[in-house]
Protein backbone atom coordinates (compact mmCIF):
# COMPACT_ATOMS: atom_id res chain seq x y z
CA UNK A 1 0.00 0.00 0.00
CA UNK A 2 0.90 3.64 -0.14
CA UNK A 3 1.82 5.47 3.01
CA UNK A 4 3.31 8.73 4.20
CA UNK A 5 4.55 8.95 7.80
CA UNK A 6 5.45 12.11 9.66
CA UNK A 7 5.38 13.10 13.34
CA UNK A 8 2.08 14.38 14.62
CA UNK A 9 3.41 17.35 16.53
CA UNK A 10 6.69 19.13 17.24
CA UNK A 11 7.63 22.05 19.45
CA UNK A 12 10.49 24.47 18.86
CA UNK A 13 11.72 27.82 20.11
CA UNK A 14 11.62 31.10 18.23
CA UNK A 15 14.94 31.71 16.48
CA UNK A 16 15.94 28.05 16.55
CA UNK A 17 16.13 25.37 13.81
CA UNK A 18 13.71 22.47 13.44
CA UNK A 19 13.74 19.44 11.16
CA UNK A 20 10.50 17.70 10.22
CA UNK A 21 10.97 14.18 8.90
CA UNK A 22 8.84 12.26 6.43
CA UNK A 23 9.08 8.68 5.21
CA UNK A 24 7.13 7.52 2.22
CA UNK A 25 6.01 4.43 0.39
CA UNK A 26 4.31 5.06 -2.91
CA UNK A 27 3.48 3.03 -6.00
CA UNK A 28 6.15 4.50 -8.19
CA UNK A 29 7.65 7.87 -7.34
CA UNK A 30 7.54 11.17 -9.15
CA UNK A 31 8.60 13.54 -6.43
CA UNK A 32 7.99 14.72 -2.90
CA UNK A 33 6.13 17.89 -1.91
CA UNK A 34 6.01 19.93 1.26
CA UNK A 35 3.10 22.24 1.97
CA UNK A 36 2.40 24.62 4.84
CA UNK A 37 -1.10 24.91 6.28
CA UNK A 38 -2.15 27.42 8.90
CA UNK A 39 -5.14 26.43 10.99
CA UNK A 40 -8.38 26.67 9.04
CA UNK A 41 -6.62 27.80 5.87
CA UNK A 42 -5.63 26.23 2.58
CA UNK A 43 -2.33 24.40 2.15
CA UNK A 44 0.31 26.45 0.35
CA UNK A 45 3.27 25.07 -1.61
CA UNK A 46 6.72 25.14 -0.01
CA UNK A 47 8.94 22.79 -1.98
CA UNK A 48 9.21 19.97 -4.50
CA UNK A 49 12.08 17.46 -4.66
CA UNK A 50 12.41 14.85 -7.36
CA UNK A 51 16.18 14.27 -7.23
CA UNK A 52 18.29 13.33 -4.22
CA UNK A 53 19.80 16.16 -2.26
CA UNK A 54 19.04 19.42 -0.57
CA UNK A 55 17.00 22.25 -2.05
CA UNK A 56 17.35 25.56 -0.25
CA UNK A 57 14.85 28.37 -0.45
CA UNK A 58 15.44 31.15 2.04
CA UNK A 59 14.84 29.97 5.61
CA UNK A 60 13.33 26.70 4.37
CA UNK A 61 15.22 23.74 2.92
CA UNK A 62 14.01 20.32 1.82
CA UNK A 63 16.01 17.14 1.47
CA UNK A 64 15.26 13.91 -0.38
CA UNK A 65 16.80 10.45 -0.33
CA UNK A 66 15.00 8.23 -2.82
CA UNK A 67 16.92 5.10 -1.82
CA UNK A 68 15.73 5.51 1.77
CA UNK A 69 12.23 6.75 1.00
CA UNK A 70 12.96 9.71 3.23
CA UNK A 71 12.63 13.47 3.17
CA UNK A 72 12.93 16.28 5.66
CA UNK A 73 11.96 19.91 5.83
CA UNK A 74 14.39 22.18 7.65
CA UNK A 75 13.19 25.50 9.01
CA UNK A 76 15.81 27.98 10.21
CA UNK A 77 15.52 31.15 12.28
CA UNK A 78 12.06 30.17 13.37
CA UNK A 79 9.45 32.89 13.63
CA UNK A 80 6.12 32.80 15.43
CA UNK A 81 4.35 32.92 12.06
CA UNK A 82 5.90 29.54 11.24
CA UNK A 83 3.46 27.94 13.68
CA UNK A 84 1.42 25.79 11.31
CA UNK A 85 0.98 22.25 10.07
CA UNK A 86 3.50 20.97 7.54
CA UNK A 87 2.20 18.40 5.07
CA UNK A 88 4.40 15.91 3.27
CA UNK A 89 3.00 14.42 0.04
CA UNK A 90 4.44 11.89 -2.40
CA UNK A 91 3.57 11.89 -6.09
CA UNK A 92 2.89 8.34 -7.22
CA UNK A 93 3.18 6.65 -10.62
CA UNK A 94 -0.28 7.94 -11.58
CA UNK A 95 0.78 11.47 -10.70
CA UNK A 96 -1.58 11.48 -7.73
CA UNK A 97 -0.49 13.08 -4.47
CA UNK A 98 -0.48 10.80 -1.44
CA UNK A 99 -0.68 12.97 1.66
CA UNK A 100 0.65 12.53 5.15
CA UNK A 101 -1.52 13.59 8.10
CA UNK A 102 0.68 16.61 8.71
CA UNK A 103 3.03 17.73 11.47
CA UNK A 104 1.73 20.48 13.73
CA UNK A 105 4.64 22.77 14.59
CA UNK A 106 4.30 24.84 17.75
CA UNK A 107 6.71 27.74 18.14
CA UNK A 108 7.35 29.05 21.65
CA UNK A 109 8.87 32.47 22.44
Partner 1 sequence: DADVTQTPRNRITKTGKRIMLECSQTKGHDRMYWYRQDPGLGLRLIYYSFDVKDINKGEISDGYSVSRQAQAKFSLSLESAIPNQTALYFCATSGGLFYNEQFFGPGTRLTVL
Q: Does position 7 bind partner 1 by CB under 8 A?
A: no
Q: Does position 84 bind partner 1 by CB under 8 A?
A: no
- Measured CA to CA, the distance from residue 60 to residue 20 in angstroms comes to 11
- Measured CA to CA, the distance from residue 90 to residue 78 in angstroms comes to 25
Please identify, among the stretches 10-18, 26-34, 57-65, 69-77, the one whose residues bind partner 1 according to the rule CB under 8 A. 26-34
Please identify, among the stretches 14-22, 30-38, 51-59, 68-76, the one whose residues bind partner 1 according to the rule CB under 8 A. 30-38
Q: Which is nearer to partner 1, 33 or 63 (CB)?
A: 33
Half-sphere exposure in the Cβ direction for 56 (13 Å, CA): 3
Amino acid sequence: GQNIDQPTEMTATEGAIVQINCTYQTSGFNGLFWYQQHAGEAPTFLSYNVLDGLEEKGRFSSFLSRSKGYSYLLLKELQMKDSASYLCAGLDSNYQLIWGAGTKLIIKP
